[in-house]
Structure formats: structure tokens, C-alpha cells
């Protein structure tokens, strides 16, 4: 959601290199940052930049806190002041490199990192923070982070920060074995650190070893019951657990929310912490609470545009579409372009569709899916919307995109694509036939529909789906080019449909009509093509038995009665 650091422990980013004259003050700052009490840390650091204005590291850590809180503009200002105080400030050049990363300016990143390396001397801290910058979202580069750490002037044998940073890099690379090995090295050096337990717990969470994650995190809370980040990680572990195991979802979402409230109580309940809680609520799907949190934030800070994002999301999920469109529209209009994320376009599009702006809304939803390739489900959502509005061809195209982009599309998705293309062709066919359109039906749609249904048929040979044969029968009937001299393309599909339905009888009205349709088609086939009056009459009788209002069967018997009366 945000340009945040991918790091399993904020303690690693907060261990400060202090001079002997300011060690106690910086130690207090360290504890505040380590506990994610960013407001308190900012207050102290702002004081330090006044009382110890000549020390460039004070500016760096203040800027770093701004980065952690997602205020890159403020961070850039402070890093620049740090360089003004000391033109050879390696750490502040790292900070400016981070700004380059967030701005997608590779040249600025490398230029500032080169300067940082030049002034680093024997300190490994600049390299450690460079590695953290490389792990920044939305484009983490774990290999670059690891390569940068290898350049550190020290081997890191007595430095837990080095091993934590290396563990974070391997964690981001999904190399859990090496990540754990480095966290274990850090723990050997600093066995009392709850932050390292949190890092290991996050590692197990990523591997979906939720029991292991919970055990590690509870070790952290046992070591320090007031260590806030452990409760945040417990909450996020519960959320992932809920998303992975539906049976545990209700319990774990509720438990996670309680952990998050405890985290907020143990931190400084800053607007930034509350917004992180809001992000958690989005992932948890708790939009009622999100609306409450967002409204409370709006009362205290009407200038923070992110609040309007939350209000927009919550209003959509709570069916208050006009209010949602107003709130999210304000965010999209006033926020800097780099602050807008794909999910914003998704919700804006949804709100626009719900308020009657279909075309504009679907355009924005498509933009969300194009910007974030993990949002393949959006194509299926758009397909459903378009199908409901009887825009069948466009719905088929959306389902086709979903099938192409989804990791594991289901057979139902192929079936929906087939249905959409079938009805799209059918509309065009009958509009042209009834002279409502001068454009002939696009046979490519029929081919796409048949391909989709055929795929489902091939994948369900052990348990055939009757409706697949029904729709293949219908579309094959539409392939007939001469209605007065049909070839019977639909016959085998209607016969298969009848066989499947007769093996599993159903009394619902839809099935009765479909059975009558199949029998009426076969009656017509035997009447006009095969010239078998006995089979024709038998099928027409079965059609009337299941649906007395079937027009073809009624017409057949009416005609037969008329002929017999003339004899």
C-alpha cells in the first residue's frame, strides 16, 4: 500500500551509532524508534538537531523516521540539512539515495550511494542502510541489498545490525534458510533482543508456519511485555493465518484486531500508527471498523489526504457509493500522482460503476489491473459487471483476460467466458436476422465460445457437466448457414444433454424448459432431416410432457391434427 521498507525488524533500522557525548540521548531515541514510537522519536530528534546541530547523524535519523512514516518530502529536506552540516555525511547521502529510489530515479540513487560509499570510511552503517533502501517497496531488489552488504567495511562478526540486515535481505529474497542463519547469528550476539524474535517470527509467518511464528513472537512478548512491534506482528500473522485457513478466519481476524489495538496502546497512537491500523483493517476486510477509524482521523486531521482514501474504500464496502465517490475523488484529485496506487483506481472504478458511470469506471478498474499484475481477479469482476449489464462481448473479453492472467483459473471461468461470447454472438445474430442491425454476426465470437465450452468438456470427462453440452448444442445450431436445410450440427450435443439429465432427473422449471428445447430440436431433426415420423412424434411428445407451452411441439401437433381433420 505504501512506499514502506520491507524489513522484518525496525530495531535494525534504529540502532544508532552514538558518540560518547550524546550516547544517553541517542539511546532514548533508539528505544523510541525500536518500539515504533515515531512521534516521540521525532520530538527528541528535532530537539537534538537544535541542541546538537553540528552532528549530521541526528538529521539522518530524523529523516529516516520520516521515511518510516511515509513522508519522503520531509525526509529529503532533513537529509539535505544534514549534508549542509557535514558535506561528507555518508548516512545523509544514503538518505538522499532513498529519495531517489522512491522517485524511481535510478541515477539519483546511484549518484548519492557513490558519495555515501566514498565517505563511509571503516563504518559499515552506510552499507547497512543502503541495503535497506534496496529493499524498499514497491520494487525490492534483494540481490542488490546482499551485494551492498558484502561491500561493508567490517565483516560484521560483532555487529548484530549487519546480520539482521543480511537476514532481512534473504527474507525478501524468500531464501528462508539463509535468512534464519543470519538472524541466529544476530541473536547469538544480542540474545536479549525481542526485535530479533520478531524478525524470526515474521520469517515463519512468510512460510505459513503460523504456530512457529506465534511461538517466536510470544517469546518476544515474554521478554518484554511492552514491546509493541511484537503485537503488531502477531496481528499480521493472525491476518495471514485467516486468509490461508478459512476455518480459522473468524477467530484469527478477531484475535488479530485485539493484538493491533494493544500495539496502538503501546506505541504513541500517532496518526501514522492509526493509518497503519487502517491498512490492517483493509486487509482484514473489516470495513465497518475502518470507517470508524477513518472518521475519527478526519476529525483530528482534515489535511491528510490518505484519510479520504480510507473513507472512500469503507463507503464502497458499506454500500454508501455517493459518499465514497466524493471522498476517493478528493484523494485522487489532490494527491500527488506518485501517492496513487492501483487499488485506488480499482475502488474509484467500482464506485463509478455503482453510480452509473459504467464506461469510466471500467476504464479505471482495467487501469488498476494493468498497473498491478497480481490483480487478475479484477478482470473477472469486470466480466461479471458487464455480463449483468448485457454487454456480453466485452464481458467475454474480460473473462478471457482473467484466464490469461490468473495463476489458477477455474473451469467456471472458462464457462463464463463461453456464455458471454455465446450471448454476444446470439445478440448480433438475431439483430441482423431481424434487421435491427446491418452488420452480420462476428463468427469469431462463436469460435471463442465453442473453444471455452470445449475446454470445460475435455476437463470434465469423468463428471460431465450437462450445461456445457446444452450451450455447445445451441451455438452449433447457430452455425447452420441455411435454416431451411440444416445439417444437424447440434444433434449430438442435445442427445448428450438429455442423457445426462435423464440420469439425474430434476423438477426445476429451467431444466424442464431446457429438456423441452432439446426434445423439440430432435423432433425437428427427425421430422425434416431424417424423415422419421415416429421418432419425431416421440420427441415432440416428450417436449410437451416437460413444458406444455413449448411452441415447436404445440405447432407440430396442431399441424398434425389439422391434417387429420381434412382426411
Strand partners of residue 454: none
C-alpha triplet 211, 199, 287: angle, nearest 5°:
70
Query: What cell was used for 537?
Result: 412424434
Domain boundary among 154, 173, 192: 173
Query: Based on C-alpha coordinates, what's the Rg of the chain?
Result: 33
CA dihedral 484, 489, 490, 493 (to 10 degrees): 160
Give residue for cell 541466529: 184
Domain boundary among 173, 191, 224: 173
Q: What is the rounded distance in angstroms from the CA atom of residue 213 to the CA atom of residue 195? A: 13
Check if the beta carbon of residue 245 is closer than 8 Å to that of residue 283.
no
Each residue's pLDDT, cut to its tens digit, for the chain (567 residues) gives: 334 444 433 333 333 333 333 334 787 888 888 889 998 999 999 999 999 999 999 999 999 999 998 899 999 999 999 999 999 999 999 999 999 999 999 999 999 999 999 999 888 999 999 999 999 988 899 999 999 999 886 656 678 989 999 999 999 999 999 999 999 999 999 999 999 999 999 999 999 999 999 999 999 999 999 999 999 999 999 999 999 998 999 899 999 999 999 999 998 788 888 888 999 999 889 999 999 999 999 988 778 899 999 999 999 999 999 999 999 999 999 998 988 999 999 999 999 999 999 999 999 999 999 999 999 999 999 999 999 999 999 999 999 999 999 999 999 999 999 999 999 999 999 999 999 999 999 999 999 999 999 999 999 999 999 999 999 999 999 999 888 888 999 999 999 999 999 888 788 899 999 999 999 999 999 999 999 999 999 999 999 999 999 999 999 999 988 888 876
Let me know if residue 53 belongs to a domain: yes
Domain with 533 in it: what CATH number?
1.25.40.10
Task: Identify the domain containing residue 432 by its residue range.
Answer: 408-566
Let me know if residue 476 belongs to a domain: yes
Domain boundary among 156, 173, 190: 173
Q: What is the rounded distance in angstroms from the CA atom of residue 145 to the CA atom of residue 509? A: 64
Let me know if residue 124 belongs to a domain: yes
CA dihedral (150, 154, 155, 160) positive or negative:
negative
Check if the beta carbon of residue 383 is closer than 8 Å to that of residue 412.
no
User: What are the CA-CA distances from residue 508 to residues 374, 485, 505, 515 (Å)?
Assistant: 40, 34, 9, 11
What pLDDT, on the 0 to 100 scale, is given for residue 474? Answer: 97
Let me know if residue 21 belongs to a domain: yes
DSSP assignment string, 325-362: HHHHHHHHHHS-GGG--HHHHHHHHHHHHHTT-HHHHH
- pTM greater than 0.85: no
Check if the beta carbon of residue 174 is closer than 8 Å to that of residue 206.
yes
From first CA to last CA, the distance across the chain in angstroms is 82
Task: Give strand ranges (E) for 279-433.
Answer: none
Q: What is the rounded distance in angstroms from the CA atom of residue 265 to the CA atom of residue 270? A: 10
Query: What cell was used for 482?
Result: 441455411
Check if the beta carbon of residue 290 is closer than 8 Å to that of residue 281.
yes
Q: What's the length of the chain?
A: 567
Let me know if residue 252 belongs to a domain: no
Q: What is the rounded distance in angstroms from the CA atom of residue 366 to the CA atom of residue 377? A: 11
Number of neighbours of residue 104 by Cβ within 10 angstroms: 11
Judge if the upstream peptide bond of residue 500 is cis by omega within 30 degrees of 0: no
Looking at the 3D structure of the chain, how many domains does it have? 2
What pLDDT, on the 0 to 100 scale, is given for residue 90? Answer: 97
Q: What is the rounded distance in angstroms from the CA atom of residue 221 to the CA atom of residue 205? A: 17
Q: What is the rounded distance in angstroms from the CA atom of residue 18 to the CA atom of residue 469? A: 75
Strand partners of residue 136: 5
| Three-state DSSP string of 469-521 | HHHHHHHHHHCCCCCCCCCCCCHHHHHHHHHHHHHCCCCCHHHHHHHHHHHHH
Average pLDDT, the chain: 91
Let me know if residue 284 belongs to a domain: no
Let me know if residue 20 belongs to a domain: yes
Let me know if residue 365 belongs to a domain: no
User: What are the CA-CA distances from residue 63 to residues 39, 42, 46, 74, 376 (Å)?
Assistant: 13, 9, 10, 7, 37
Query: What cell was used for 303?
Result: 489535511
Amino acid at each position: 500500500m505504501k512506499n514502506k521498507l520491507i524489513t522484518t525488524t525496525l530495531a535494525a533500522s534504529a540502532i544508532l551509532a552514538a558518540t560518547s557525548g550524546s550516547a544517553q540521548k541517542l539511546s532514548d531515541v533508539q528505544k523510541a524508534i525500536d518500539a515504533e514510537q515515531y512521534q516521540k522519536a521525532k520530538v527528541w530528534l528535532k530537539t537534538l538537531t537544535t541542541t546538537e546541530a553540528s552532528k549530521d547523524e541526528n538529521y539522518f535519523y530524523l529523516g529516516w523516521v520520516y521515511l518510516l512514516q511515509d513522508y519522503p518530502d520531509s525526509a529529503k529536506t532533513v537529509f539535505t540539512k544534514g549534508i549542509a552540516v557535514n558535506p561528507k555525511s555518508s548516512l545523509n547521502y544514503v538518505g538522499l539515495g532513498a529519495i531517489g529510489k522512491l522517485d524511481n530515479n535510478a541515477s539519483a540513487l546511484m549518484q548519492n550511494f557513490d558519495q555515501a560509499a566514498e565517505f563511509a570510511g571503516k563504518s559499515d552503517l552506510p552499507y547497512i542502510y543502503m541495503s535497506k533502501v534496496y529493499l524498499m517497496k514497491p520494487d525490492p531488489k534483494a540481490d542488490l541489498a546482499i551485494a551492498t552488504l558484502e561491500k561493508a567495511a567490517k565483516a560484521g562478526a560483532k555487529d548484530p545490525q549487519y546480520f539482521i540486515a543480511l537476514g532481512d535481505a534473504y527474507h525478501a529474497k524468500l531464501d528462508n534458510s539463509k535468512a534464519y542463519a543470519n538472524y541466529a547469528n544476530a541473536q547469538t550476539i544480542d540474545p536479549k533482543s525481542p526485535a530479533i524474535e520478531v524478525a524470526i517470527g515474521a520469517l515463519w509467518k512468510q512460510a505459513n508456519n503460523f504456530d512457529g511464528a506465534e511461538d517466536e513472537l510470544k517469546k518476544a512478548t515474554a521478554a518484554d511485555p511492552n514491546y509493541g512491534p511484537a503485537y503488531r506482528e502477531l496481528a499480521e500473522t493472525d491476518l495471514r493465518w485467516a486468509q490461508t485457513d478459512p476455518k480459522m478466519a473468524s477467530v484469527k481476524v478477531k484475535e488479530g484486531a485485539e493484538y493491533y489495538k494493544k500495539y496502538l496502546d503501546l506505541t504513541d497512537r500517532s496518526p501514522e500508527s492509526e493509518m497503519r491500523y487502517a491498512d490492517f483493517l483493509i486487509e482484514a476486510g473489516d470495513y465497518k471498523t475502518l470507517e470508524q477509524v477513518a472518521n475519527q482521523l478526519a476529525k483530528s486531521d482534515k489535511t491528510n489526504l490518505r484519510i479520504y482514501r480510507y473513507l472512500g474504500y469503507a463507503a464502497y464496502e458499506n454500500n454508501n457509493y455517493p459518499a465514497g465517490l466524493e471522498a476517493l475523488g478528493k484523494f485522487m484529485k489532490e494527491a500527488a500522482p506518485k501517492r496513487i496506487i492501483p487499488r485506488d483506481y480499482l475502488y474509484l472504478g467500482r464506485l463509478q460503476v455503482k453510480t452509473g458511470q459504467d464506461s469510466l469506471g471500467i476504464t479505471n478498474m482495467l487501469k488498476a489491473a494493468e498497473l498491478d499484475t497480481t490483480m487478475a481477479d479484477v478482470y473477472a469482476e469486470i466480466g461479471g459487471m458487464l455480463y449483468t449489464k448485457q454487454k456480453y462481448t466485452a464481458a467475454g473479453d474480460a473473462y478471457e483476460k482473467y484466464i490469461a492472467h490468473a495463476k489458477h483459473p477455474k473451469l467456471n471461468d472458462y464457462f463464463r467466458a463461453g456464455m458471454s461470447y455465446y450471448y454476444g454472438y446470439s445478440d448480433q445474430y438475431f439483430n441482423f436476422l431481424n434487421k435491427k442491425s446491418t452488420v452480420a454476426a462476428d463468427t469469431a465470437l462463436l469460435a471463442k465460445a465453442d473453444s471455452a465450452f470445449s475446454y470445460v468438456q475435455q476437463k470434465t470427462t469423468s463428471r460431465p457437466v450437462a450445461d456445457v453440452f446444452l450451450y455447445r448444442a445451441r451455438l452449433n445450431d447457430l452455425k447452420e448457414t441455411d435454416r431451411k436445410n440444416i445439417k444437424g450440427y447440434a444433434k449430438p450435443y442435445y442427445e448428450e444433454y438429455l442423457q445426462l439429465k435423464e440420469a439425474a432427473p430434476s423438477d426445476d422449471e429451467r431444466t424442464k424448459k431446457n429438456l423441452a428445447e432439446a426434445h423439440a430440436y430432435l423432433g425437428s431433426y427427425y421430422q425434416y432431416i431424417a424423415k422419421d415420423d415416429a421418432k419425431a412424434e416421440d420427441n415432440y411428445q416428450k417436449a410437451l410432457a416437460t413444458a406444455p407451452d413449448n411452441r415447436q411441439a404445440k405447432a407440430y401437433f396442431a399441424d398434425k391434427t389439422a391434417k387429420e381433420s381434412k382426411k
